[in-house]
Amino acid sequence: MARPLSPRICLAVLLVCVSGCSKNGGFANPFASAPTGPSGRTLTGSPAEQVAQLEQWRRESELEVKQLREGVSGLTEKNQTLQTQFANAQRQMQLQSQHLKSVSDRLAATTSELAQTQMQKQGSSQDAASLNELNQEKERQLAAARQSVQKLKQQLKESTEQLQTTQSQLVQSEARAKSAQQSVDHLTASSRQRGGATIRPNQNLKMITLPAEEGTIERDGNVIRIQMPAKNIFNPQTAQIQEGKVGTLESLGKRLTAAYPDQRIGLEGHASSSQKTQGVWRNGHHLSSAQAMAIYEFFLTRSIFRSDQMFIVGHGANHPVYSSATETGRSGNDRVEIVVYPDAVR
């Protein structure tokens, strides 16, 4: 089955198309007047840089939404706990009040009896003292319970206010995320209005054979997919092509351009879920994007494919093909795929 083009692929198409057309002077930049993104931030640079900025803002907004939702969940749980504690404290206070009343009644009865039989029952004075002491202790416990209830009330109020504030921030963040996505969609739609490029579908792509060192090729629905392990192309943890693989990669590019001279070419980077990045790469998603861009630049500078034919996508660990439970599987998931689409660009 053909993989549907995700929003990230569309953004990647935008980046390549805008970059290629800007270099060739195919059309004027529709955002040359520095458009404004979400939250009043101003987009700067080339259309490709503006797309990257909008994508970054959208990710930040999504992260902020996620964090605020987690905050709302935590505060809601805390609010429920405080309400339970408040109810328990109220029940305890009622029990203490009932017990205090019982003790007070007993004290009153004993005091009455003591007044009548003071001379005959000296032991009653000791009971009265004990009951009086118990009464005082219960009064102290009741006072402490009332303070605890008051404290819980204040905590409940503060938690409720904080929950309301967080929910308000969540609504604002979701609005910013929506605004960022709308800006990206608008930029994508505008950039597609490039002159001179006509896309024609070809549903009968032919298969070619490749040497094992150049990669594996397979038909995936109506596209042709070439997989190359990242360790066979790049220096570890970098987007730098190994010196010994330049010839191999150039040979592969020539085979592909001979077989598919006008087809749409997708350069898609992938990383395993356990990919540990270092240096300038914050995560596997960034590294996979940089590796896809390195292949793009390689083919472009050697005039293997035109800029308006290619687009890049960094998938990170979103599309594994093997289990990450083994080193072999993780190594297989760290890869770059060259995808030949049935659309011909003329």
What are the tens digits of pLDDT across the range 41-82?
Answer: 677 788 888 888 888 888 888 898 899 988 888 888 888 888
Higher pLDDT, 57 or 128: 57
Comparing 107-116, 123-132, 172-181, 321-330, which segment has the lowest mean pLDDT?
172-181
CA–CA gap between residue 130 and residue 128 (Å, rounded): 5
77: which 2 tokens? 């749980």
CA–CA gap between residue 252 and residue 37 (Å, rounded): 41
pLDDT of 95 over the 80 cut: yes
CA–CA gap between residue 192 and residue 188 (Å, rounded): 6
* Number of Cβ within a 10 Å radius of residue 270: 27
pTM tops 0.85, yes or no:
no
Instruction: Spell out the residues 6+ positions from residue 128 whose beta carbon is closer than 8 angstroms to its own.
Output: 107, 110, 111, 114
Place of tokens 């640079």: 45
User: Rg (Cα) of the chain, in Å, rounded?
Assistant: 36
Comparing 36-45, 241-250, 324-333, which segment has the lowest mean pLDDT?
36-45
CA–CA gap between residue 236 and residue 281 (Å, rounded): 12
Write the pLDDT tens digit of every residue in 142-167. 888 888 888 888 888 887 777 777 77
Place of tokens 């000296």: 122
Place of tokens 């590294």: 287
Cα angle 72, 73, 77 (rounded to 5 degrees) comes to: 115
Instruction: Spell out the residues 6+ positions from residue 271 whose beta carbon is closer than 8 angstroms to its own.
Output: 230, 284, 285, 287, 288, 315, 316, 317, 333, 334
What are the φ/ψ torsions at residue 336 (nearest 5 degrees)? -120, 130
pLDDT of 209 over the 80 cut: yes
Percent of the chain whose predicted confidence (pLDDT) is above 70: 73
What are the φ/ψ torsions at residue 325 (nearest 5 degrees)? -75, -20
Residue 194's pLDDT is what?
A: 36
Residue 19's pLDDT is what?
A: 47
In Å, what is the CA distance from 148 to each residue of 155, 220, 268? Answer: 10, 67, 60
Comparing 195-199, 299-303, 319-323, which segment has the lowest mean pLDDT?
195-199
Write the pLDDT tens digit of every residue in 276-299. 655 566 787 888 899 999 999 999
Nearest to 311 by CA among 48, 43, 26: 48
For 310-337, what is the mean pLDDT?
85
CA–CA gap between residue 36 and residue 109 (Å, rounded): 83
Residue 329's pLDDT is what?
A: 79
276: which 2 tokens? 């540990």
For 308-319, what is the mean pLDDT?
90
Residue 122 identity: Q
Helix (H) or strand (E) holding 144: helix 123-191
5: which 2 tokens? 């083009």
pLDDT of 274 over the 80 cut: no
Residue 125's pLDDT is what?
A: 63
Would you state the CATH architecture of domain 202-345? 2-Layer Sandwich (3.30)
Percent of the chain whose predicted confidence (pLDDT) is above 90: 21
CA–CA gap between residue 323 and residue 333 (Å, rounded): 8
Query: Which long-range contacts does 172-176 make (Cβ < 8 Å, 24+ apart)?
Result: 173/61, 173/64, 173/65, 173/68, 174/61, 174/65, 176/38, 176/39, 176/57, 176/61, 176/64
For 327-337, what is the mean pLDDT?
84
pLDDT of 226 over the 90 cut: yes
Specify which of 98-102, 120-124, 297-301 reaches the highest per-range mean pLDDT: 297-301
Residue 341's pLDDT is what?
A: 94
